[in-house]
Structure 1
Amino acid sequence: MFEKNYYCLVAGLREYALDSDTKGFDAREIIAEILEEVSSGDAEAVRLLYGYYDCENIIALRAGRSAYNPLGNIPAEELEQELASPKALPKAMAQVLKDYAATESEETEGVDLSLGFERALLTAYYEECARSKSRFVRQWAEFDRTLRNVTAAAVARSMDRRVDSVTVGKGDVVAQLQRSSAADFGLRGELTYVDAVLAAVNDEQNMIEKEHKIDLIRWEHAGELASSDYFNINAILSYLVKINIVARWSQLDPKRGRAMLDRIMAELDSKELIK
């Protein structure tokens, strides 16, 4: 199957960033513009990428917290209804909500309730991504899950907590994190970024600095996954991952958010030169 190319859309990505500079950064507006331009199949991939933030928002709502990330697909005013009667979420994620809402007398449909709600919902999200038709979504989700697991395992170890209580999903890396006593969990030869993650967690007392270092790992990997893509949905998804990081840092540290936005524009300029 041939991938659809978006020559005009990709050419306009830099303009979205420039508009953000003059009008104020609005990631949700950029996402909406992109969703209007891409095919229905590619729009599905975009929405699935943002399903992670739906998970965050639903977890917060269920826990009684007021936090809401506007990057989620589901508007804040519709979250409570979605939690009670899921219709917008992908099937596996919706099933988690249904099973946790079920009374003890009702049967559940294969969701491991022993995981706890948060880990069960995130596991379902990553399973949905693994089945995506989008190569970028599949590879990005696997990387993102692994990065979060390594980070969570390192933090758990530093606090003398059980690693298996914080990891999401299954697989060789998860098994290694849970059983290894090595400083690098025995993953140095498998994950090129493991030392950088462990250094950020173990050596950095400043939480903002730690998060910044880990987000830089995300940034680099998003670029690597689309390094040979210029006009297709992979290039756009890679751009959106970086937009998400800019959105986060625009709130945490506006100066760093500005620097990251400049970096996006520089990277887009370099692709123009290659083209």
Structure 2
Amino acid sequence: MFANEYYCLVAGLKEYSLDADTKGFDARTIVSEILEGVTAADAREVRLLYGYYDCENMAALRAGRSAHNPLGNLTREELEEELKAPKRLPEAVARVVRAYADPEGEDAEEVDTAQRFEKELFGAYYAACAKAGSHFLREWSAFDRNLRNVSAAVTARAAGRAVEEVVVGDGDVADQLQRSSAADFGLRGELPYIDAVIAAVNDEANLVEKEHKIDLVRWNEATELATFDYFDINAILSYLARINIVARWTQLDAARGREMFARLMAELDGKELIDKK
């Protein structure tokens, strides 16, 4: 199967700009325009990428918190309905929602409702991404889960908490994080970024700086995973993964957000290779 090539759409990504006089830019508008420009199948991949924020928002909603990340696919009101009777969520995620709504029901046989809701919810989300058609989304979600697990495990270890309480999903990395007593969890050879993440979590007292260092790891991975993708859905998802980081930093630190956006625009120059295809 050949990937769809979006020459005009990718070429137009550089037209988006960050307003220097405001705190941020409208990432949702960028997403909406991309969704209008790709096929239905590729649009599902884009929505799955943003499903992470739906899970984040559902966890907050179920816990009674007011926080709501606007990058999610669904509004707060739509998520309230999904928590009652999921219809628009990926099936793996919907199964978790149904299981916790009815611990005696059929879905609860496949979900460990003794675990925290968030842990099972995000585990299901990453499992859905592992089956995505886009190689970028599969590899990005695996990376993102590992990165978040490492950060959570280091924090839990420092606080004297059980690492297994915070690690999401399964697999070799998750198992190693829960079993190893080594400073690097025995993962230095498998995760090239682990030293940077451990150092950021352990050594950086400034929480904003810590998050910035971890997001730089995330940014570099998003770029690396689409190195040989120029005009397909993988290139677009890589761009969106970085747009999400920019969106976050325009809220946390406007100047740093503009700096990251400038970097993204510079990186897109290397994608303009239509004549070489």
TM bucket, shorter chain = over 0.9
TM-score when normalising by structure 2? 0.95
TM-score when normalising by structure 1? 0.96
Please identify, of 143-152 and 108-117, the stretch whose mean Cα deviation from structure 2 is larger: 108-117
Please identify, of 158-167 and 106-115, the stretch whose mean Cα deviation from structure 2 is larger: 106-115
Report 1:75-90 matches (<5 A).
Answer: 75-90=75-90
Look up the match of 1:33. Answer: 33
Look up the match of 1:227. Answer: 227
Distance in 1 of aligned mates of 2:31 and 2:103: 38
Matched, 1:182 2:182: yes
Look up the match of 2:110. Answer: 110
Distance 1:48 1:133, change over 3 A: same
Please list every run of 5 or more consecutive structure 2 residues that lacks an aligned counterpart in the other structure.
none
Matched, 1:169 2:169: yes
Report 1:12-23 matches (<5 A).
Answer: 12-16=12-16, 18=17
SS at match of 2:189: coil
Q: Note the alpha carbon deviations across 1:181-229, whole angstroms, 9 max, x for none.
A: 1111111111100000000000000110000100000000000000011
Report 1:40-119 matches (<5 A).
Answer: 40-102=40-102, 104=104, 106-107=105-106, 108-119=108-119
Q: Note the alpha carbon deviations across 1:94-143, whole angstroms, 9 max, x for none.
A: 11111101154x34241111221000000000010011111111110000
1:271, distance to aligned residue in structure 2 (A): 2.5
2:56 maps to a residue whose letter is E
Distance in 2 of aligned mates of 1:229 and 1:58: 33
Report 1:130-149 matches (<5 A).
Answer: 130-149=130-149
Determine if contact 1:20/1:26 at 8 Å carries over to the other structure: no
Distance in 2 of aligned mates of 1:22 and 1:2: 43
Count of aligned residue pairs for this structure pair: 273
Look up the match of 2:272. Answer: 272
Determine if contact 1:74/1:88 at 8 Å carries over to the other structure: no
1:76, distance to aligned residue in structure 2 (A): 2.1
Determine if contact 2:103/2:113 at 8 Å carries over to the other structure: no
Distance in 2 of aligned mates of 1:112 and 1:19: 44
Please identify, of 110-119 and 32-41, the stretch whose mean Cα deviation from structure 2 is larger: 110-119
Look up the match of 1:258. Answer: 258
- Superposed CA RMSD in Å reads 1.5
SS at match of 1:113: coil
Q: Note the alpha carbon deviations across 1:16-64, whole angstroms, 9 max, x for none.
A: 2x26568851000000000000011110100000000000000000000
SS at match of 1:100: helix
Determine if contact 1:153/1:163 at 8 Å carries over to the other structure: yes
Look up the match of 1:204. Answer: 204
Please list every run of 5 or more consecutive structure 1 residues that lacks an aligned counterpart in the other structure.
none
Look up the match of 2:8. Answer: 8
2:202 maps to a residue whose letter is N
Determine if contact 2:6/2:231 at 8 Å carries over to the other structure: yes
1:272, distance to aligned residue in structure 2 (A): 2.5
1:11 maps to a residue whose letter is A
SS at match of 2:114: helix
1:81, distance to aligned residue in structure 2 (A): 1.0
SS at match of 1:50: helix
